[in-house]
């Protein structure tokens, strides 16, 4: 570009422009792609001189320093025993390559050196990471490091996500007001209430339209997300690790690797944002679908609880094999003393009172039926009633002289302690080495409270330790897959995603609740990484009973599975499960590679969503009635995302069962043998008249090219 001191990173969908003048680094712009540049962008964007303001235009830069006249939240906050509390960083070096910019800054008075790395990939994802080094002769106490990016004046709303156990990731949306809007997580893991992305919106942003600026923290511990609008109108979005007092004290020469942020811009609504996330994650060499199709999974927790009866489990195995299950997971209760949730955590050895000959026999039985075997662990926790705790009560996260309150009868094992880390790694590795285990479900069932190690806050190091543990397990067992579970969906984030192959989306398998939980978890996480299971009737969490059709269709759009004692299913239900599994196996290539579409539907009582193949040759959509329609005839179901000039064959399919209706006859298109033919434009702009579905029922629509 023409301005000599401006540097640009650009992708097909977004651009970032940096200003490197005045020995400073300023982000002038982050948003839609700009392909043509004039000569005077700096002049066009320079602030006027206001009454009662500074005498010259000031640019605070990415560090947002008080010393440069910035009056909002800074990027860096810290001190050296009360000194060096204010910084003034200057540029020392800039390195640019295709799609990447590395910026070196130093404050010679505060004795700090900072490297900022910006990488904008072809999918429009901007990754920002940083490394802060103490170059002084005494310690530096870092209080906060928050990554910030600018927002345009037209960004007028903020949306984030809130939740609790069994009701994760529900959106909340409000106007951006003057001051600071913040979301904090202090439980040592990302949590049920974690905002998987904080979004700034311009105008009437919906799934298919409008501008969205998203910021996600790639970290699994404590976090903070901000949107700030200052009195001068400057608006910005920020995220970073939330540090406890004294948690990061840099000794001379030490550095802090700042957890990165993932910035994502779309001018095509929420679905455009999701498409950027999905294409980026799917391009990773270790992305699960780049290795093999996602196997249909059955977990027995809601089937047997702690009752590990060999004969009963074999009955479930037989039923699972009959319907086409590909992975069978033995959950909690297999290890020492684990007859309930009050004992055993920490002792990862097979309980010989339940499995006198070990797990070899049941694993062989499962393998002989054509299924992989998976096993549950909760390696970051310990029960007081365990051999481990009796031997090492000091191996818990705690402050000296006191013990944190119990939660679920357990404490958090301090895996920052070398002995505790090696204990967990050694015992888990021993089990994985002895048996043919393809997959582990790794749980994390309580929050961190008073999480100290030798008198210092330890949540940061605890998070880093679980990353190391997972990496080492995969190094020793290269074919191993790991599911991240934390009381359901309390550790789903863009940090741990590089260490695991699947997330347990929620402990709540109720299809009605799952419709919303999966809808918004899928904003950032592609469906092949989200465990979506058919649950029992009634549901274990809220005791609601829903039709098998509704449960099956809800579970189809993810990494599908079963969480149910299917030996209790009726013959009709088993027929649906078998047909549904066959459908999943036929369509998982589409489900796990296509573009996700969530329709902006006028009737909020129904969700319409689906997946369109990247070449637009086929699609699979669901219409899910969460409640009764607002009108006698349900609103037309538009199906966007297909090729407008191509002709498609469209039909309702019953592979996941038949949804119940409140009508005397189906719409005409559903009664025509082999379906109807419509153009992509007709489907997007006019749509299909749905049947009058009863609440908590759904239909599937199959679409394929007729040309």
Q: Contact at 8 Å (CB) between 407 and 362?
A: no
Cα angle, residue 316 at apex, residues 313 and 319 outer, rounded to 5°: 155
How far apart are alpha carbons 409 and 651 in whole angstroms? 52
CA angle 549–557–692, rounded 5-degree value: 40
Contacts of range 275-278, beta carbons closer than 8 Å, 24 or more positions apart = 275/595, 275/596, 276/13, 276/123, 276/124, 276/125, 277/125, 277/523, 277/524, 277/525, 277/526, 278/526, 278/595, 278/596
Residue with tokens 């759009």: 557
Burial label for 355, CB within 10 Å (0-12, 13-18, 19+), is middle
3-class SS letters over 395-441: CECCCCCCCCCCECCEEEECCCCHHHHHHHHHHHHHHHHHCCCCEEE
CA–CA distance, 554 with 163 (Å, rounded to integer): 20
Task: Give the closest residue to 14 by CA, choosing from 268, 238, 271, 201.
Answer: 268
Let me know if 443 is a catalytic residue.
Answer: yes
Q: Are 44 and 30 in contact (CB under 8 A)?
A: no
DSSP 248: E
Catalytic residue flag (residue 414):
no
In terms of Cβ atoms closer than 10 Å to its own Cβ (0-12, 13-18, 19+), residue 204 is exposed
Q: How many Å separate Cα 194 from the centre of its chain?
A: 10
**Environment class of 233 (CB within 10 Å of its CB; exposed 0-12, middle 13-18, buried 19+):** exposed
Pairing of strands 248-250, 697-705: unpaired
Query: Which tokens belong to 258?
Result: 């700042």
Instruction: Name the active-site residue from 331, 347, 507, 603.
Output: 507
Query: Could you tell me if 493 and 533 are in contact, meaning their C-beta atoms sit under 8 angstroms apart?
Result: no
To which H or E segment does residue 151 belong? strand 140-151
Q: If phi over 0 gives left and psi between -120 and 50 gives alpha, with beta otherwise, what is residue 89?
A: beta
SS3 297: strand
The residue from 193, 275, 331, 443 that is catalytic is 443
> What is the four-CA torsion angle of 509, 515, 521, 522, rounded to 10 degrees?
120
Residue with tokens 């992989």, as numbered in its chain? 372
Coil, strand or helix at 360: helix
Report the alpha-carbon distance of residue 671 to residue 688 in Å, rounded: 13
Note if the bond before 538 is cis, omega within 30 degrees. yes
- Could you list the active site residues? 443, 507
């Amino acid at each position: 570009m023409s301005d000599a001191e401006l540097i640009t990173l650009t992708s097909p969908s977004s651009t970032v422009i940096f200003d490197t003048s005045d020995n400073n680094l300023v982000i002038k712009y982050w948003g839609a792609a700009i392909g043509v540049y004039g000569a005077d962008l700096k002049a066009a964007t320079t602030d006027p001189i206001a009454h009662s303001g500074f005498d010259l235009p000031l640019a605070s830069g990415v560090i947002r320093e008080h010393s440069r006249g910035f009056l909002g939240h800074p990027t860096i906050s810290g001190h050296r025993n009360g000194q060096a509390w204010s910084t003034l960083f200057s540029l020392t070096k800039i390195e640019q390559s295709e799609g990447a910019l590395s910026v070196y800054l130093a404050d010679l008075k505060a004795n700090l050196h900072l490297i900022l790395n910006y990488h904008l990939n072809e999918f429009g994802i901007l990754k920002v990471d940083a490394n802060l080094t103490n170059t002084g002769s005494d310690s530096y106490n870092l209080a906060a490091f928050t990554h910030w990016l600018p927002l345009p004046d037209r960004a007028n709303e903020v949306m984030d996500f809130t939740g609790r156990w069994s009701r994760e990731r529900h959106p909340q949306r409000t106007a951006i007001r003057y001051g600071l809007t913040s979301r904090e997580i202090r439980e040592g893991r990302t949590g049920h209430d974690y905002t998987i992305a904080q979004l700034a919106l311009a105008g009437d942003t919906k799934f298919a339209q409008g501008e969205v600026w998203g910021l996600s923290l790639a970290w699994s511990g404590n976090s903070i997300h901000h949107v700030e609008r200052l009195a001068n109108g400057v608006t910005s979005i920020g995220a970073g690790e939330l540090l406890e007092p004294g948690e990061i004290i840099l000794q001379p020469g030490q550095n802090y690797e700042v957890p990165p942020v993932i910035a994502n811009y779309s001018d095509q609504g929420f679905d455009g944002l999701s498409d950027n996330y999905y294409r980026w994650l799917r391009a990773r060499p270790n992305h699960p679908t780049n290795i093999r199709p996602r196997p249909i999974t059955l977990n027995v927790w809601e089937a047997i609880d702690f009752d590990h009866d060999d004969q009963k489990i074999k009955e479930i195995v037989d039923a699972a094999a009959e319907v086409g299950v590909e992975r069978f997971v033995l959950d909690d209760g297999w290890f020492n003393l684990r007859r309930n949730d009050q004992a055993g955590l920490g002792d990862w050895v097979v309980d010989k009172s339940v499995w006198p000959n070990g797990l070899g026999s049941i694993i062989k039985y499962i393998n002989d039926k054509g299924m992989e075997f998976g096993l549950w662990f909760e390696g970051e926790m310990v029960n007081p009633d365990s051999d481990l705790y009796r031997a090492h009560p000091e191996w818990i996260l705690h402050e000296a002289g006191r013990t944190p309150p119990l939660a679920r009868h357990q404490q958090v094992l301090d895996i920052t302690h070398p002995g505790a880390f090696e204990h967990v790694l050694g015992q888990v590795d021993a089990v994985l080495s002895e048996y043919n285990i393809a997959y582990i479900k790794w749980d994390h069932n309580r929050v961190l409270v008073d999480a100290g190690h030798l008198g210092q806050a330890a949540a940061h190091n605890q998070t880093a330790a679980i990353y190391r543990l997972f990496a080492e397990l995969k190094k020793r067992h290269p074919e191993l897959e790991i599911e991240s579970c934390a009381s359901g969906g309390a550790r789903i984030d863009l940090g741990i995603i590089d260490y695991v192959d699947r997330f347990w989306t929620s402990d709540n398998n109720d299809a009605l609740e799952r419709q919303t939980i999966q809808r918004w978890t899928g904003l950032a996480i592609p469906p092949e990484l989200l465990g979506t299971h058919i649950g029992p009737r009634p549901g274990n969490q809220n005791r609601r009973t829903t039709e098998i059709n509704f449960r099956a269709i809800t579970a189809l759009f993810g990494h599908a599975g079963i969480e149910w004692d299917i030996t209790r299913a009726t013959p009709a239900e088993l027929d649906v499960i078998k047909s549904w599994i066959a459908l999943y196996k036929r369509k998982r290539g589409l489900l796990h590679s296509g573009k996700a579409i969530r329709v902006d539907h006028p009737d909020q009582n129904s969700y319409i969503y689906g997946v369109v193949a990247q070449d637009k040759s086929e699609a699979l959509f669901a219409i899910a009635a969460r409640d009764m329609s607002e009108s006698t005839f349900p609103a037309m179901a538009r199906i966007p995302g297909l090729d407008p000039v191509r002709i498609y064959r469209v039909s309702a399919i019953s592979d996941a069962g038949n949804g119940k209706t409140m009508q005397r006859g189906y719409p005409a298109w559903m009664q025509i043998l082999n379906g109807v033919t419509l153009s992509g434009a007709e489907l997007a702009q006019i749509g299909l008249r749905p049947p009058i579905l009863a609440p908590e029922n759904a239909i599937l629509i199959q679409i394929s090219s007729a040309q």
